[in-house]
Amino acid sequence: MDKNIQEVMLTEAQIQSRIAEMGEILSEEYRDKNPVVIGVLKGVVVFYADMIRKITVPCQMEFMQISSYEGTESSGSVVVKQDIAVDIKGRHVLILEDIFDTGNSLSFVHAHLMAKEPASLKICTLLDKPERRKPGVTLQADYVGFTIPNEFVVGYGLDYNEYYRNLPYIGIMKPEAYT
């Protein structure tokens, strides 16, 4: 285990097994719908790569990048750094995210994509931290990998100052590692 990790919250095996379960559900849901699966960079990359390979029906891959988060605290303001490159009007769209925290990012992404008039728009997030949701956010995820307690986690795509994304598990950092 990495020396700056205090505790593993979700092991590689737990994550992979949950992704396999979700893959069956999503493959059933999107059969004959030719979905566009949109990943929100960069946190989602590791989850996206594993999840997409468990979706066994034809689909297209797209990515967008937003900017909203600095250090461990959300700034609250979101901007599009890179938009998707295809027209999703009339298409079935599935958003993949790493974590649903305050809800700022997903609320923004959801509204941004709804404006492009997809036939349907659903959200699949690997992690959900409902305790952190900002009051007023009514948006809900359609598919959740794991509901987790209010802890700042890293690994499996999730970073602290751009590091730890390459850990194969999700863990909690030692408090002294923040300094």
Which positions are catalytic?
101
**For residues 118 and 88, is the Cβ–Cβ distance under 8 A?**
yes
CB-wise, 27 or 160, nearer to Mg ion?
A: 160
Q: Which residue in the set 29, 98, 101, 128 belongs to the binding site for Mg ion (CB under 5 A)?
A: 98
Question: How many other CB atoms sit within 10 Å of the CB of residue 113?
Answer: 20
Is residue 43 close enough to count as binding Mg ion by CB under 5 A? yes
Amino acid letter, residue 113 = L
Least distance CB 32 / Mg ion (angstroms): 30
Q: Which two tokens stand for residue 127?
A: 């992690």
Nearest residue to 5 (alpha-carbon basis) of 166, 131, 132? 166
Torsion angles phi and psi, residue 39, rounded to 5: -100, 140
Interface positions with ligand 5GP (CB under 6 A): 43, 68-69, 74, 97-106, 152-154, 158-160
Amino acid letter, residue 104 = N
CB-wise, 99 or 123, nearer to ligand 5GP?
A: 99
Name the segment binding Mg ion (CB under 5 A); options: 31-39, 40-48, 70-78, 144-152. Answer: 40-48
CB-wise, 27 or 74, nearer to ligand 5GP?
A: 74
